[in-house]
Each structure stands twice: as structure tokens, then as C-alpha cells.
Structure 1
Amino acid sequence: MNLRTILILGALSAFGPLSIDFYLPGFPAMALAFGTDEKHIQLTLASYFLGLSLGQLAYGPIADRFGRRMPLLVGVTLFTLASLLCAFAPSLEWLIVARFVQALGGCSGMVISRAMVSDKCDAVGSAKVFSQLMLVMGLAPILAPLLGGLLVNSYGWHSIFLALTVFSAASLVAVALGLPETYPAHQPRQPLSGALSRYISLCRDRVYIGHAFTGGLAMAGMFSYVAGSPFVFIKLYGVPAEHYGWLFGSNAAGFILTAQINARLLRKHTPGWLLSRAVWVYLGAALTLLGLSTLHPAHLWPLLVPLFISIASLGCIIPNASACAMRGQGARSGSASALLGFLQFSVAAGAAALVGVLHDGSAVPMALVISLCGISSVVASVLTKRFQRERDAFVG
């Protein structure tokens, strides 16, 4: 893929993290504006995640029926209009609904960008492109809260959604002018009536499901960290709130660095080879974090090292797992990408909720859930390797 295409796909991939991390600093101002508390403002985040999950399942079959460009243009347009509606929301209920619609539009870029990469690249090439896209996924959590805070302080919470409107409108122009159709001309378009049967077929594909869960369970560990780190860093160990972003950003930087190293390692190793080893690094770091957490150290720094390694390893796990899952999907790449995203976000959301359920005033719940995700990811990886060998033997 050329640089222009990768940059456009990177912008589309940023819709998800930007729409989440960008507006978090605006919660207090939004609560004040709507005469409510931050707990109710969090409903706007819940509605976004709901739209993100359901929307991905819809875009997959649509992209396999109508190609990639048309659904993408419609989705980005919908995101742009919904962002404008969010900016001028007269009530909290309006904002909740607008956020749901915004997610329905924004997830088009997440689903279809993976499908487009699969259309144009083999497994190794896909893993390289996904690693480059991880640069965007990693930078967004670092820059978005900082920029969002600046906008809120200077122009109010409405400016965040106006900025998203401008960004998505620019992305729409870029897609319209610079992103060609990638659906293979020799492949027949898949009818919408067969969407359910394709999803059932994918669920029966043990190799695909295995890779999807290997990456999804590892990603769930990241969401557990996102959910638990504010309490652990700020309340438990007294890190000033203004310094939290730097700790969060350092782990995101490790994620980015590993993703770029992964792209170079793919010159000599296959995505599957790298994936099967990276999950063990993740598990080792997670178990170390859990062990140290049970000792309730007086200082934070002993926890930061294994936490950094576990988050950084995801820069190798997620792109390779995605590439392995999407390999050979052909005419059903859109559906495969949609189900992959749905499974990843569903498992991740469940893990983040579990951190809250297990909360006991220590770092143990966060570390425990991260470790459980690591164990499950390793089990999924080992089973998937066995399924792959059985398939190769059968084909051979």
C-alpha cells in the first residue's frame, strides 16, 4: 500500500479512540451544563460503545455487498453529521442518542479499513500495515486528552465535537478523492441475505475465531488497564492528576514502539510466529504485575515496569492477530473484519467492567484481570496453532 492510502486509513482508524479519549476532559463541564453528575454523563460513553459494537456487525455484510467505498463514504458522512449534533445537543438525552449515531458512523472506518488492507495485502503485508496503523491507535490516547483539555478550557465542551466535525469532514474529502475501491473485481459481491450464514460460518472457523480471541483477549487487558489505572495511579499511589497523562502516555509510547519493531521483524518472521511468542511475553509481565500487586508495595514504580512490558507487547499481538484472522477471507473480508472488531470490543468491555466489580481498594483487581486476559490469550493461541496444523494436514 502507498503512503497516501495508509495515512487515510490511519485517519479512519483514529475515529474510535478520538471519539472516546478526546471528550473525556469535558465530563465535568458537560455535567455542569446539563445540570447532572459525571455518572450520568458516562451514559454518553456507554451509548457510544453500544453503537460501536452493533454498527460493526452491520457494516461487514454491507461492505461485502456494495464494496468498500460507498459504505465508507456513508459512514463518515453520518459521523460528521452526528458530531455536529453532539456539539449543539440541547439536553443530555439528545447527546446520548447523538453519540450512538456517531458511533454507528465512526465504526465504518474501523471495519472497512481492515477489509481494505486484507483486499490489497497478504498476511505479512497486512501485519505490517496494521503495525503502522497502531501508530495512530497509540498516539490518540496520548494526544487526545491533552488537546481535549485545552479546547475545553479555552472554548468549552462544544468545541471538542466541533473539532471532531472538522476532522471527519476532512477525512470524508480524503476518502472521496484519494481512496480507490479495493474490493477485488474478480470476486462476486455477497448478498445481504447471506449475512447471518457468513457470520455463522466464521464462528465455525476455529482458526479465525482462535486468532480473533487471541488478539481480543489481549486487547481486553489493555481496557482493564484503562479502567483501573486512574484509581491505582491517582488515588492509591497519589500521582497528581496532571501527571497521570504522562504515565499513561509512556505506556502508549511503548505500545507504539513495539508495533514499529514488529513491522521490521516481519521481514524475517511470519505474523503467526511472532504472535505465538508475544503472548507469552504478555503473560509473563502480567503475572509479575499480579505477584507484585499482592505484596501491596509502598511505591508505584515496582508495578510500572511489568505494566509497561504487558502494554507494550500488545503492539506485537494485536496487528499480528488481526492479520492472521483476516488471512484468506476473500469475499467475506468485510464480515470477517466486522466480527473481529465486535468480538474484540465486547470482550474488552467485559474485562473493563470486571475490574470495577472486583474493586477492593488495591491494585490487585486490575492486575488480576490483566493476568486472566493473558492466560486466556495464551490458551487461545496454543489451541489456534493446533487447529492450524490440523487444517494444514487436512489440506495437504
Structure 2
Amino acid sequence: MKRLWWFSAFFLLYELTVYLTNDMIMPGMPSVMAEFGGPSRYIGLSLSLYILGGCTLQIGLGPLADRIGKRRVMLGGAAFFLLATALVPMAGSAPQFLAIRFFQGMGSCFIFIGYAAIHELFDDTRAVKLTTLMGNTTVFAPLIGPVAGSAVISVFDWRAVFVTAFVLGAVAWLGLARTMPAGGGKPLAAGDKSLTASYRAIFTNRTFMLGILVAGLAITPLTAWIGLSPAILLQHGGASYGTYIAWQCAIFVGFVLSTFAIGRMGGELPLGRLLRQGGVLAVVGLGGAGFAAGQPQLFIACMFVFSAGFGLFNGALIRIALTATGQSMSLTSAAMSLLYCLYIALGLELYNAICERFGYTLQAYALCGVPVALAVCAGLFHIARGHDARVRDAVAGLPDLA
């Protein structure tokens, strides 16, 4: 068990590095585009391409992990990420920078391998608590990234961000090589029919498809904020790095607090209740932010509430979606990662197009979140009802041992 926890720690470091690489460079993106002569929309496009890179290999990686083992695939993917990270500083133009960022984003394709291993190695409660805690990497990166990135860029060239990421990634790779268990999961039967049937079962499962859609919708406003806030606050708003950092920390700390609260819960987690409570906070926070953009302090407070709600329901939502199909966890996680990245990238580009149309104002960003909030809340309540009904049916079907 001790080795499993060390594996989880080094996998957490790898995931943190993948996300931190992006968030450390975000405050420096205006400088990158100024050096290469790129327009403001390239700032958001850089993140979109990074995310799209993260969904290019999923369908093939799932069966590959089942055939040759998750450990080999995970280590190979981490090595590929290190190679791409080393190439980013060598970019000589904006198109080259964007192209390499796409390939660097492929490093996130392999994150689902680690999550699949964790869901197989731990029971429901431990898996939800651990993956919820690990999900904080997507939040710690926006918290730590702007601070660390601003510090690095203020002293060194922006390329030093990727040197830092390479060092962290190398430590993670060495740790994974020593601690990640071999094997895991049941190998698929040879032949395309078995694989096709498995993916058909996954992509036709309503709970899975709705769950991942809602998860993708829910994280899009936070991802859009990460990608567009440098243009909104720094480039067009004239804010200082200090103000930019303060906004990031105030908004994303809600996610950190709520996920830590889940980690401290004892006993079996009430997944349906987490979805409902998180959904209410999400619609109040994101919906309120849409109408409070003219008052920065109130906007920040509302976004804090939204991020807290997201942290409350995200782990439970992913767990329900992943376990609904009854298929290989590797294949299900691969399908989830593919859809998740596509939804986020499409949503981010929609945000980017709308914000570009209205001059990257805070109001344009904020109003985009109102319909998203309503859709997310409705989806969460629907999934919670279905989950609670399945739990009641399962309990009713247990034999009476009295």
C-alpha cells in the first residue's frame, strides 16, 4: 500500500507539471506574442491547441494500455511530454510556438492512464477522495502558476518557464518509473470486434455521455478564465501582475477549500448530495458573476462560489460517469478524456471568439457563463436523481440477513 501512495504522489507531480507548464506561461503570453508579433486571440488559441493536443491519442491509448500495461504507456507518454517541453523554447515564430504547444499538450493524454490505475487500485470512497484531491492540480496550477511564472519572467526570459517544467517532469518520470505498479486491468480479447463493441457500449451509455458533457461544460468557464484573463486583465485591462495574481488566487481558492473538505469527510460519500449541493453553488456563483461584472469585487466573490461548487461535485460526477459503463476502466477513461478535452477546447474557442468580438472585456466573459450555469445545474440534478435511484434499487435487491 505504501508503494501505491508513492505512485499517487509522483503521478500527482506529473499531472501538476502538465498543468503548471501552461499556467506558468500564461502571464508571459503577452510578452511571447509581442516578441513573435502575434495577435491577442493567439493567447487563448495557445491554450485551446494545448487542450486539443490532449485528446488526439485517447482512443488508441486505452486499448494499448490494456494490451501492454498502463505502466509502459504512462512512462512513454511522460517521456514524450519531456521532449516536447524541451522543444518549446526553440520556437522562432508564433506559428511554431503554437504547433509545439499542441504536441506538448499530448502529454495530458496520458494522465487518464494514471487515473484509471487509481480507480482500479482503490475502492469507491478512497478513489473519490484521492482523485478529488488530485483534481486540485487543475486549481493549484492557476494559483501557483501565475505567481511562479511572473517571478521567473521578471528575472529571466519566458523560455525559462519551460526549463523549470522540464526539471519537474523529469523528477516525476523517475518517480513513476520506480513506483508505478505493472499490469492492472483485464486485457481485451484480440480482434477489432471486441474493441468496437466496448467503445460502442461506452459511447451509447447515457449516464456516461451526459456526465462527461456536464463535466466539460462545468470546467469550461474556469479554463476560459485561465486562457483569456491575460488578455482581459493584463493586455486590455492594464492590470499589474500583482492584480492578475490576486484575482487568480481569490477565484480558484474556492475549489481548493471544497475539495479539501471532501477529503476530510468520513465514511461513504453521498455522491448524489454532492452533485445537488455543488450544482446550487455553481448556478448561484456563475450566474451571479454574469450580472456582477461591472463590480470587480462582487464578480470575484461570485466566481469563488462557483469554483467551490465545482470542487464539490466534480469528483463525484467523474466517478459516476466512469463506473456507469461496466467496461474496461482504461477504455472508459480514454473515452472520457477524449470527450472532455474536445468539449473544453470548443467551449474555450467560443469564449475566445465572443470576447474578441467585444474587445476582451470582463463583461463579455462573464455573460457567457450564465447559460452554462443553468445547463450545468440542470444536468447535475438529473444525474443525481438517476444515481440515487440506482442506489435504492441496489439496496432493495440485497438479501435480508436479519
- Shorter-chain TM-score tier: 0.7 to 0.9
Distance 1:301 1:237, change over 3 A: farther
* 8 A Cα contact 1:212 1:343, kept in partner: yes
Q: How many residues align?
A: 389
The aligned residue for residue 400 of structure 2 is none
The aligned residue for residue 321 of structure 1 is 317
* 8 A Cα contact 2:150 2:241, kept in partner: no
SS at match of 2:312: helix
- Once the two structures are TM-superposed, the CA of residue 309 in structure 1 deviates from its matched residue by 0.4
1:115 partner letter: A
Where in structure 2 are the equivalents of 1:367-382 lying within 5 Å?
367-382=366-381
* 8 A Cα contact 2:221 2:369, kept in partner: yes
The aligned residue for residue 152 of structure 1 is 153
* 8 A Cα contact 1:220 1:344, kept in partner: no
Task: Give the Cα separation in 2 of the matches to 1:228 and 1:30.
Answer: 15
Distance 1:190 1:85, change over 3 A: farther
- Once the two structures are TM-superposed, the CA of residue 90 in structure 1 deviates from its matched residue by 4.4
Task: Give the Cα separation in 2 of the matches to 1:207 and 1:156.
Answer: 47
* 8 A Cα contact 1:22 1:144, kept in partner: yes
- Once the two structures are TM-superposed, the CA of residue 379 in structure 1 deviates from its matched residue by 2.1
Distance 1:31 1:264, change over 3 A: same
Q: Is 1:131 aligned to residue 132 of structure 2?
A: yes
* 8 A Cα contact 1:234 1:241, kept in partner: yes
Task: Give the Cα separation in 2 of the matches to 1:379 and 1:128.
Answer: 25
Task: Give the Cα separation in 1 of the matches to 2:187 and 2:386.
Answer: 28
- Once the two structures are TM-superposed, the CA of residue 44 in structure 1 deviates from its matched residue by 4.4
Task: Give the Cα separation in 2 of the matches to 1:230 and 1:169.
Answer: 28
* 8 A Cα contact 2:120 2:329, kept in partner: yes
Task: Give the Cα separation in 2 of the matches to 1:213 and 1:312.
Answer: 20
Q: Is 1:349 aligned to residue 345 of structure 2?
A: yes
2:214 partner letter: T
The aligned residue for residue 211 of structure 2 is 211
Candidates 39, 55, 59, aligned match of 2:57: 55
- Once the two structures are TM-superposed, the CA of residue 278 in structure 1 deviates from its matched residue by 1.1
- Kindly report the root-mean-square deviation, in angstroms, between the aligned alpha carbons of the 2 structures: 3.0
Per mean C-alpha deviation after superposition, the further-off stretch among 170-179 and 160-169 is 160-169
Q: Is 1:180 aligned to residue 171 of structure 2?
A: no
Per mean C-alpha deviation after superposition, the further-off stretch among 225-234 and 20-29 is 225-234
Task: Give the Cα separation in 2 of the matches to 1:34 and 1:230.
Answer: 17
SS at match of 2:332: helix
Q: Is 1:105 aligned to residue 107 of structure 2?
A: yes
* 8 A Cα contact 1:220 1:351, kept in partner: yes
Per mean C-alpha deviation after superposition, the further-off stretch among 280-289 and 262-271 is 262-271
Task: Give the Cα separation in 2 of the matches to 1:95 and 1:239.
Answer: 25
Per mean C-alpha deviation after superposition, the further-off stretch among 5-14 and 33-42 is 33-42
Candidates 300, 323, 332, aligned match of 1:304: 300
Q: Structure 1: which 5+ runs fail to align?
A: none
* 8 A Cα contact 1:16 1:107, kept in partner: no
Report Cα offsets for 1:118-139 as digits up to 9, x if no partner.
1112322211001211332221
Where in structure 2 are the equivalents of 1:209-288 lying within 5 Å?
209-227=209-227, 229=229, 239-265=239-265, 267=267, 269-288=269-288
TM-score for both structures, normalised by structure 2: 0.85
TM-score for both structures, normalised by structure 1: 0.86
Task: Give the Cα separation in 2 of the matches to 1:229 and 1:86.
Answer: 22
Task: Give the Cα separation in 2 of the matches to 1:190 and 1:79.
Answer: 30
Distance 1:105 1:285, change over 3 A: closer
Distance 1:176 1:386, change over 3 A: same
- Once the two structures are TM-superposed, the CA of residue 191 in structure 1 deviates from its matched residue by 4.7
The aligned residue for residue 141 of structure 2 is 140
Task: Give the Cα separation in 2 of the matches to 1:103 and 1:151.
Answer: 21
- Once the two structures are TM-superposed, the CA of residue 251 in structure 1 deviates from its matched residue by 1.8
Per mean C-alpha deviation after superposition, the further-off stretch among 204-213 and 346-355 is 346-355
1:175 partner letter: L
Task: Give the Cα separation in 2 of the matches to 1:125 and 1:210.
Answer: 24
Report Cα offsets for 1:172-203 as digits up to 9, x if no partner.
1111111112514xx33355734444332212
Where in structure 2 are the equivalents of 1:330-345 lying within 5 Å?
332-345=328-341
Task: Give the Cα separation in 2 of the matches to 1:154 and 1:105.
Answer: 28
* 8 A Cα contact 2:44 2:227, kept in partner: no
Task: Give the Cα separation in 1 of the matches to 2:339 and 2:160.
Answer: 33
- Once the two structures are TM-superposed, the CA of residue 58 in structure 1 deviates from its matched residue by 3.3
The aligned residue for residue 163 of structure 1 is 164
Task: Give the Cα separation in 2 of the matches to 1:192 and 1:154.
Answer: 55
